[in-house]
Amino acid sequence: MSSSQAESISKSAAARQSLTELSEDELLLQSSVRRFAAEVVAPQVRAMDEAQQFAPGLVAQLAELGLMGIEVPEELGGAGGSFFEAILAVEALSAVDASVGLVVDIQNTLCVNSFRRWGTDAQRRQWLPKLAGGMICSYALSEAGSGSDAFAMETRAVRTNAGYRLRGRKLWISNAREAGVFLVFANLNPEAGYRGITAFLVEAGTPGLAIGRKEDKLGIRASSTCEVILEDCEIPATNLFGEEGKGYKIAIEVLNEGRIGIGAQMLGLAQGAWNHAARYAQQRKQFGKAIAEFQAVQFSLAEMATEIEAARLMVYNAARRKDAGLAFVTEAAMTKYFVSQVAERVASQCVEIFGGNGYVRDYPAEKYFRDAKIGKIYEGTSNMQLMTIAKQLLSHPVSLQER
């Protein structure tokens, strides 16, 4: 047996360990985040949703718990954890508020991972301690004309004597209002098409960078979603992120990991909706008994729980594969596609179990329903996931069972 075959078998064995049996460290993290979500986040969920912003000091508290830099090495101020631990944190927070889950998700699966994989040593030393300490990083890729077709961007970069000048408009940028640094994608060589796309770091407050219109959204309202405007924004050469012309590669590879994060967010949301539905069904009485005693409600709760368990296995499997160094692109796309559907179905059924109370804001069901819809849209729509899945399966002769 060759060394490469032995390594592959070792990785496969690591990935095949019990998906839902957590290590001591993973259990401790999960327990801590669940307690924080219940005691700190839950009492503020409704107010944050109505105010469309995070409660003052909440992000700092997330950082104190180590959740803003889970995979940041300890020597750089982070928790020194794993990707799987980041997924557990996103899931636990999203069970209470998907907006809070989102800020931890983007920070870790998109931004921290980008710095760890593509940043220079100097950039990692400069920025990772700040991110772990609570500075929010915003991922500025999408534009009005380049959503699913992400590489049709019109934002341009030109070289200057001191570095680069950026000009363009980004749209639907999560957490832009709170961000301290932006990872901006712009085309440095439009003649080369997507191969001209390059990534840059732009610090908040840089002249020429402005935060534009804040979207008034259906769900995840506490997390800001804004336009980011670049008007002859000058940055130094040291703010080049990765190599020139490799921005498309950074975006693709990091978003593959980000899809698992969105799966975790939607998984947590579905679990939270189920928890509320089950409690309400046991408390709500009709015809002289709790509605949980009616078989129709029991069947509904059972179906919801079964789908949630299937979704959890998919999320955990994709995350375990990523940590084990195994191929995970297909699994990540399948996870994003399936779990977002589960979240929408479970949240909808939660509203129905609450009945009329599920349709009013005095109860939590309607917020879970509103928050769930975005799961099928951002970081790659459901149709984009299906395209990825089909392409992966049809272009590789190795079946999923043989992976």
Structure tokens at 162: 């001191």
CA 152 to chain centre: 23
Which residue out of 85, 91, 366, 379 is catalytically annotated? 379
Q: How far apart are CA 403 and CA 398, in angstroms?
A: 7
Q: Which residues pair with 200 in a beta bridge?
A: 184, 240
24 is catalytic: no
| Pairing of β 136-140 and β 156-159 | unpaired
Q: How far apart are CA 335 and CA 326, in angstroms?
A: 16
Q: Name the 3-class secondary structure at 22.
A: coil
Q: How far apart are CA 321 and CA 16, in angstroms?
A: 9
In order, the DSSP letters of 234-253 are EEEGGGEESSTT-HHHHHHH
Q: In angstroms, what CA-CA distances link 310 with 112, 316, 385, 391?
A: 28, 10, 18, 24
- Which residues are designated catalytic? 379
